[in-house]
């Protein structure tokens, strides 16, 4: 397999509306650190797949289709587009159920993605790919709980090696990259940028992507809300991942199984799910404010009277001995782990991306307690399990094609 990497910057427009926090009062004022668009291409002589990761709060299906069309013109057969989910970038249509991408932002995103992809194609070289998983304590925890509870966060790394050297890595962290507060008006990649800066060296590139982070954030573990804290957490991740950033034995002739889609229909939220009695057990000021935001968003959703099911696609792709799964929304960590377990196969590693190829919103499980996440979700509880089942089906089909084509 040949693998290449390219990166470009997303132009920032002063005054542009920022995404992520609904209680922001003004737009972008300046740039704390550049917003980046990364492209990684994988080619085995039969198919070329590109993964594009953008420092945005979300990517909607309209701009994903445009990027796929433009990259196909330069030899990319299939393409995924994912967002890091930074809350310190321009608003990109990140509302429950998805929304059109602002036209001017879409133009800049498509252009930057094309430049990054072109650079990745020029960088392609014979390479191998392997994964590792590191559980990191003190990074993040379940954010809907009123108090901190210790949890080891599983961070996956896809290491790209060439000629016996690690030349790049895709780090998939299942954590909301939201260290900077709602009153920040400077563009920033936030935690994703901190991880990239801490791990990138002159010898290898790093792409920071976000996994099933729907219920995970730094709310209870961060020690500040500024760039210093971003860099502290980035350094924490880098320190724990240091020993994984080395080449490992892997097949030299790794094959690529093109992306497999699986469709799923999700029931729209029911009126009774748009209500939370009293304070829901929340006692902290900011948490109460967030809960009230959730109530307002839920009321707006009900006013839309959207009763038709939502239809989305999840995807899986085979990259050598790695199955990469993409979910177009905010899946909870527990459900991401169920995809890994359900898609497991001998000799195959499974890595789950969130915020990819569209944006539906939070995908709550049957047992998710009423919270901001369930209130603002456009779909009924139990939708998360349906997405898990579809993802496992897609991964199983990738495995079937590996066996059929003797690609394992």
pTM of the shown model: 0.94
Predicted local distance difference test score (pLDDT) of residue 173? 98
Q: Take residue 229 and report the two structure tokens written for it.
A: 């804290």
Three-state DSSP class for residue 237: helix
Three-state DSSP class for residue 206: strand
Q: Phi/psi at 313 (nearest 5 deg)? A: -125, 135
Domain interval for residue 268: 256-404
Indicate the helix (H) or strand (E) that contains 230: helix 227-241
Q: Which residues pair with 394 in a beta bridge?
A: none
Query: Is residue 388 included in any domain, yes or no?
Result: yes
pLDDT in tens, 22-40: 888 899 999 999 999 999 9
Average pLDDT over residues 153-171: 97
What percent of the chain lies above the pLDDT cut of 90?
76
Query: Is residue 61 included in any domain, yes or no?
Result: no
Query: Is 282 a residue whose pLDDT tops 70?
Result: no
Indicate the helix (H) or strand (E) that contains 65: helix 61-72
Predicted local distance difference test score (pLDDT) of residue 276? 66
Tell me how far apart the alpha carbons of residues 337 and 24 are, in angstroms, rounded to a whole number: 33
Query: Is residue 224 included in any domain, yes or no?
Result: no
Average pLDDT over residues 63-84: 98
- Strands 362-363 and 153-162: what pairing? unpaired
Query: Is residue 242 included in any domain, yes or no?
Result: no
Q: Phi/psi at 240 (nearest 5 deg)? A: -75, -25
Q: Are 153 and 140 in contact (CB under 8 A)?
A: yes
Q: Which residues pair with 136 in a beta bridge?
A: 153
Query: Is residue 302 included in any domain, yes or no?
Result: yes
Could you tell me how far CA 71 lies from the centroid of its own chain?
20
Query: Is residue 222 included in any domain, yes or no?
Result: no
Query: Is 260 a residue whose pLDDT tops 60?
Result: yes
Q: How many domains does one find in the chain?
A: 1
Q: Phi/psi at 294 (nearest 5 deg)? A: -60, -40
Q: Are 74 and 4 in contact (CB under 8 A)?
A: no
Query: Is residue 395 included in any domain, yes or no?
Result: yes
Average pLDDT over residues 56-65: 98
Three-state DSSP class for residue 393: helix
Q: Please report, to the nearest 10 degrees, the dihedral formed by the alpha carbons of residues 60, 62, 65, 70 taken in order.
A: -110
Query: Is residue 106 included in any domain, yes or no?
Result: no
Q: Are 67 and 106 in contact (CB under 8 A)?
A: no
Tell me how far apart the alpha carbons of residues 83 and 102 are, in angstroms, rounded to a whole number: 15
Average pLDDT over residues 342-366: 95
pLDDT in tens, 292-342: 777 777 677 766 767 789 999 999 999 999 999 999 999 999 999 999 999
């Amino acid at each position: 397999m040949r693998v290449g990497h390219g990166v470009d910057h997303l132009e920032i427009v002063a005054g542009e509306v920022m995404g992520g926090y609904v209680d922001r009062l003004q737009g972008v004022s300046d740039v704390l650190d550049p917003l980046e668009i990364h492209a990684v291409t994988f080619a085995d002589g039969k198919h070329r797949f590109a993964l594009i990761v953008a420092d945005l709060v979300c990517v909607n299906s309209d701009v994903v289709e445009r990027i796929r069309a433009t990259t196909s013109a330069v030899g990319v057969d299939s393409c995924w587009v994912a967002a890091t989910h930074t809350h310190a970038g321009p608003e990109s249509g990140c509302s429950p159920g998805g929304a059109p991408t602002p036209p001017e932002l879409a133009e800049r995103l498509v252009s930057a993605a094309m430049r990054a992809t072109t650079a990745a194609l020029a960088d392609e070289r014979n390479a191998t790919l392997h994964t590792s998983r590191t559980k990191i304590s003190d990074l993040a925890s379940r954010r809907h709980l009123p108090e901190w509870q210790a949890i080891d966060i599983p961070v996956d790394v896809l290491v790209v090696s060439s000629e016996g050297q690690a030349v790049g890595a895709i780090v998939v962290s299942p954590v909301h990259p939201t260290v900077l507060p709602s009153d920040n008006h400077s563009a920033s990649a936030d935690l994703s940028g901190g991880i990239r800066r801490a791990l990138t060296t002159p010898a290898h590139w790093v792409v920071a992507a976000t996994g099933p982070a729907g219920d995970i954030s730094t709310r209870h573990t961060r020690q500040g809300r500024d760039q210093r804290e971003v860099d502290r957490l980035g350094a924490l991740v880098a320190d724990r991942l240091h020993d994984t950033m080395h080449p490992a034995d892997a097949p030299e002739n790794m094959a690529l199984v093109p992306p497999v889609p699986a469709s799923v229909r999700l029931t729209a939220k029911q009126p009774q799910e748009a209500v939370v009695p009293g304070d829901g057990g929340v006692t902290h000021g900011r948490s109460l404010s967030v809960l009230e935001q959730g109530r307002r968003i839920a009321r707006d959703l009900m006013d839309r009277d959207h009763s038709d099911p939502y239809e989305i696609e999840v995807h899986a792709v085979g990259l050598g001995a790695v199955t990469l799964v993409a979910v177009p929304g905010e899946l909870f960590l527990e459900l991401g782990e169920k995809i890994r377990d359900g898609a497991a196969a001998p000799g195959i590693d499974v890595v789950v991306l969130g915020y990819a190829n569209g944006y539906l919103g939070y995908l709550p499980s049957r047992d998710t307690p009423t919270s901001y996440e369930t209130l603002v979700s456009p779909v009924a509880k139990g939708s998360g399990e349906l997405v898990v089942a579809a993802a496992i089906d897609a991964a199983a089909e990738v495995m079937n094609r590996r066996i059929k084509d003797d690609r394992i």
